[in-house]
């Protein structure tokens, strides 16, 4: 089979397309013929060594993907062979991700892909959708699970709604009944956030964004899903309701975070820092079930018309796919592994 590997940390040029033997699933595992692989910022950061040193002599990258189960190991229902699935956290703690014609993962990391959802949808779930789910379910007052009506009466602020995670925050929050506001930096990103389903968009570079948000939500925002905490903290606190939550999954721009302790004491602010690697698989598998329910309801479409442009590369150009993500390409970067 063809697979992308790297043997050393470094830039996109360390990625190689090679031939390897077809892997066999072990006990509790499934083998998936990958159709589409999703690329996330964590993939290039892992490849570069920016987050952790390489754990294995040879690594096939990418956490997310979608395809068809073609073999199962001992203890897995044989009826799963032929099942369309989306795959999450494939390369977490393992040397084999989804940038390959076939990959082997624990059975619970291959989730049935609802009928009608294309492989491009499945490959776009994973990190963005599970991160969004986590951000929306960590508030003191709940909910702990997502479903239609779970966020009725709540106001969610999706910072950077044109990004992959922000896009998923908008879609999942709207599916669960929230009023959704998204901050954006210009007209094109406003168009994308609106297409994703945001009820309101606010340009944080113009006018008085805090006053605009407060006009929409006089009592304040219940949950902020934050992509750039250092840059946006002052705005977040200006619009957060008492006992509100700021769930931060990145600090784009790297600006240092300085807290006014008394201000946050008076607000009873809840800060939730999150990364999927350490959430724990019970929470991830529960989140995956609810993400799949949202997909079944048609709540997580992708593509330009749904606010998430798809930028696609063939397997032999995975290095260019990594460059696109590193350079901040707007939309979701996918690698087409099979036709």
Q: What is the 3-state secondary structure (H, E, C) of 121-141?
A: HHHCCHHHHHHHHHHCCCCCC
pLDDT > 90? residue 297:
yes
pLDDT > 90? residue 52:
no
The domain spans of the chain are: 2-124+308-336, 129-276
**Residues 197-221: pLDDT tens digits?**
999 999 999 999 999 999 999 999 9
**Alpha carbon distance 92, 52 (integer Å):** 12
**Residues 270-292: pLDDT tens digits?**
999 999 999 999 999 999 999 99
pLDDT of residue 181: 98
pLDDT of residue 33: 98
- Given a contact cutoff of 8 angstroms between Cβ atoms, the answer to whether 178 and 157 are in contact is no
Query: If pLDDT is split at 50, 70 and 90, which confidence band does 54 have?
Result: confident
Strands (E), the chain: 2-5, 16-19, 29-39, 64-72, 84-87, 102-106, 110-112, 155-159, 179-184, 200-203, 221-226, 240-248, 270-273, 310-314, 332-336
Q: Tell me what percent of the residues of the chain surpass a pLDDT of 90.
A: 96
Query: If pLDDT is split at 50, 70 and 90, which confidence band does 339 have?
Result: confident
Considering only CA atoms, which of 232, 234, 238 is closest in space to residue 250? 232
**Residues 151-170: pLDDT tens digits?**
999 999 999 888 999 999 99
Query: If pLDDT is split at 50, 70 and 90, which confidence band does 262 have?
Result: very high
**Residues 83-119: pLDDT tens digits?**
999 999 999 999 999 999 999 999 999 999 999 999 9
**Alpha carbon distance 216, 156 (integer Å):** 11
What is the architecture, at CATH level 2, of domain 129-276?
A: 3-Layer(aba) Sandwich (3.40)
Average pLDDT over residues 59-79: 98
Query: If pLDDT is split at 50, 70 and 90, which confidence band does 5 have?
Result: very high
Average pLDDT over residues 145-152: 98
Beta strand 240-248 with 270-273: parallel, antiparallel or unpaired?
A: parallel
Q: What is the pTM of this model?
A: 0.96
CATH code for the structural domain at 2-124+308-336: 3.90.180.10
Asked if 2-124+308-336 and 129-276 have one fold, the answer is: no
- Given a contact cutoff of 8 angstroms between Cβ atoms, the answer to whether 32 and 101 are in contact is no
pLDDT > 90? residue 53:
no
């Amino acid at each position: 089979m063809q697979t992308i590997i790297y043997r050393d940390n470094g830039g996109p040029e360390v990625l190689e397309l090679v031939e390897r033997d077809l892997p066999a699933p072990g006990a509790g595992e499934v083998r998936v013929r990958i159709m589409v692989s999703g690329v996330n910022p964590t993939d290039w950061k892992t490849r570069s060594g920016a987050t952790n040193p390489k754990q294995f002599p040879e690594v096939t990258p990418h956490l997310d993907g979608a395809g068809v189960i073609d073999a199962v190991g001992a203890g897995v229902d044989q009826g799963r062979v032929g099942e369309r699935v989306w795959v999450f956290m494939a390369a977490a703690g393992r040397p084999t991700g989804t940038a390959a014609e076939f990959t082997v993962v624990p059975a619970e990391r291959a989730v049935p892909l609802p009928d009608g959802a294309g492989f491009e949808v499945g490959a776009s779930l994973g990190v963005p959708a599970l991160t969004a789910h986590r951000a929306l379910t960590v508030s003191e007052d709940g909910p702990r699970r997502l479903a239609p009506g779970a966020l009725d009466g709540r106001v969610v602020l999706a910072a950077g709604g044109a990004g992959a995670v922000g896009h998923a925050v908008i879609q999942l929050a709207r599916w669960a009944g929230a009023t959704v506001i998204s901050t954006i930096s210009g007209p094109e990103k406003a168009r994308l956030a609106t297409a994703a389903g945001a009820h309101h968009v606010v340009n944080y570079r113009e006018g008085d964004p805090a006053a605009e948000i407060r006009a929409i939500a006089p009592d304040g925002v219940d949950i902020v899903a934050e992509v750039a905490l250092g840059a946006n903290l002052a705005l977040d606190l200006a619009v957060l309701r008492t006992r509100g939550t700021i769930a931060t999954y990145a600090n784009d721009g790297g600006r240092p975070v300085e807290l006014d302790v008394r201000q946050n004491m008076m607000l009873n602010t809840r800060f939730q820092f999150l990364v999927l690697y350490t959430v724990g698989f019970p929470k991830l598998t529960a989140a995956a079930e609810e993400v799949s329910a949202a997909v079944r309801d048609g709540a997580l479409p992708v593509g330009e018309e749904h606010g998430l442009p798809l930028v696609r590369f063939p397997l032999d150009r995975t290095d260019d796919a990594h460059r696109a993500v590193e350079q901040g390409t707007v939309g979701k970067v996918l690698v087409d592994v099979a036709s």
